[in-house]
Homo-oligomer: A and B are copies of this chain.
Amino acid sequence: NTVSATRDGKGTKVMIIGGDGYCGWATALHLSARGYSVCILDNLCRREFDMQLGLETLTPIASVHDRVKRWGEVSAQNIHLEIGDLCDWDFFSDAFRNFAPDAVVHFGEQRSAPYSMIDRQRAVFTQHNNVIGTINVLFAIKEFKPDCHLVKLGTMGEYGTPNIDIEEGYLTVTHNGRTDTLPYPKQAGSFYHLSKVHDSHNILFAARAWKIAATDLNQGIVYGVRTEETMADPLLINRYDYDGIFGTALNRFVVQAAVGHPITVYGKGGQTRGFLDIRDTVRCIQIAIDNPAAKGEMRVFNQFTEQFSVRDIADLVKRLGAPMGLNAEIIQIPNPRVEAEEHYYNAKHAKLEELGLQPHLLGDSMIDSLLEFAIRYKDRVRMELIKPAVDWRKTPVTSGTAKAAVKAD
């Protein structure tokens, strides 16, 4: 048993939908190591997207079966594995009833904005997969385990970039002399981000109508690949996406620096977003589970620790990469997205810290959780995957653009 941790989970049964993914895998092991009884449910569509688009994680990840098996050997903890589609009600309802979770952590969605903008078919897939999947989770809880706490991953991208402060889920408005607290207005910037907005509205309704306890975590952009448990054995290593479709800004910049590719800032680079370390993601989930929402409440936490502009991040990668021998150049490329490139941004994120989150800071994590991995695995980098592959203004109705990710130009 090479993994050490307190056992404060005390057998709490947690179903992790999307548990083979980037956040889900790290969270599954984090919770399993701490005494929670974990079931991973995943249809492996994320691995299928990689196959279809010719993408590959930087880190060599094991199959889900090998991962789970190895984790059993390393930790002496059993993770229950259910392979199937959340949108398939027969499969999902059986799995849910059999495991009868105390909490469901729902990561299981198509989560790439560029993927959702490749073509009409993938826009439709993304909204169907995400919206219907979440409806199924709500019905399962209502019908089979009304006390089960739903911990749902949303995104900070739901808010867009309003010209006022971003609050955590709700906004108190005084208008024509009357006051109410209302869901914070949403202005999402891709079919993916929109699917999360739809989920949030559906969950709010179900929480109120069916007295479900729900936590909606509006997560910022996650970076890094190191968590204690995923580092415990090579077969447990987490995925690290650096391509133009699934790679998020920071992860991509670091890989670009590692291989001597210019750091590609989209447009002016004033786009400001919330970020967090994957080690904080797993803690946030644990905190949400340990401090459940009330029945009938959809509680919203903004799950990120620091906000940066894309330019800030590029500069940081360049500065911290230099002592490690990297000589990164920063270039601006035409922005393939439709988004404000200079804007006000001030998003609140106090609630998870009030519940005990102790943030890792990017300045510290850059070296050990990012640059170190990018340099270690840089021979695996496929240069053709680095550029942006999807243009928001073009999104065609014809499919056959699967080659977008690897096209030659």
Chain A interface residues toward B at CB < 8 A: 89, 93, 120, 123-124, 127-128, 131-132, 135-136, 139-140, 142-143, 162-165, 171, 173-176, 178-180, 182-191, 194, 197-198, 201-202, 204-205, 208-210, 338, 344, 392-393, 395-397
Given contacts A120-B139, A209-B393, are A175 and B164 in contact (CB under 8 A)? yes
Q: Which residues of B contact A123 (CB under 8 A)?
A: 135, 139
A178 near B191 with CB under 8 A, answer no
Copies of this chain assembled into the complex = 2
B189 near A205 with CB under 8 A, answer yes
B143 near A396 with CB under 8 A, answer yes
B139 near A164 with CB under 8 A, answer no
13 contacts between A and B (CB under 8 A): A120-B135, A124-B136, A127-B198, A143-B397, A162-B180, A164-B175, A164-B176, A165-B178, A187-B204, A189-B209, A194-B198, A194-B201, A197-B198
B131 near A198 with CB under 8 A, answer yes
Within the complex, the shortest CB–CB distance from A88 to chain B, in Å, comes to: 12
A128 near B120 with CB under 8 A, answer no
Q: Which residues of B contact A180 (CB under 8 A)?
A: 162-164
Question: Which residue in B171, B194, B208, B338 is a CB contact (below 8 Å) of A173?
Answer: B171
Bound complex: CA A126 to CA B396 (Å): 26
B208 near A338 with CB under 8 A, answer yes
A179 near B197 with CB under 8 A, answer no
A188 near B162 with CB under 8 A, answer no
Return the 6 tightest CB-CB contacts between A and B, nearest first: A182-B185, A163-B180, A164-B175, A198-B198, A209-B338, A164-B178
A197 near B191 with CB under 8 A, answer no
Question: Which residue in B132, B162, B176, B397 is a CB contact (below 8 Å) of A165?
Answer: B176
Bound complex: CA A246 to CA B202 (Å): 22
Within the complex, the shortest CB–CB distance from A7 to chain B, in Å, comes to: 35
Bound complex: CA A182 to CA B210 (Å): 29
Within the complex, the shortest CB–CB distance from A191 to chain B, in Å, comes to: 7
B189 near A163 with CB under 8 A, answer no
B163 near A179 with CB under 8 A, answer yes
Q: Apart from A89-B120, A123-B135, A184-B185, what are 6 other A-B pairs with CB-CB below 8 Å? A: A127-B131, A142-B397, A165-B176, A173-B175, A183-B186, A183-B187
Within the complex, the shortest CB–CB distance from A277 to chain B, in Å, comes to: 28
Q: Which residues of B contact A174 (CB under 8 A)?
A: 164
Q: Which residue of B lies closest to A184 (CB)?
A: B185
Q: Which residue of B lies closest to A208 (CB)?
A: B338
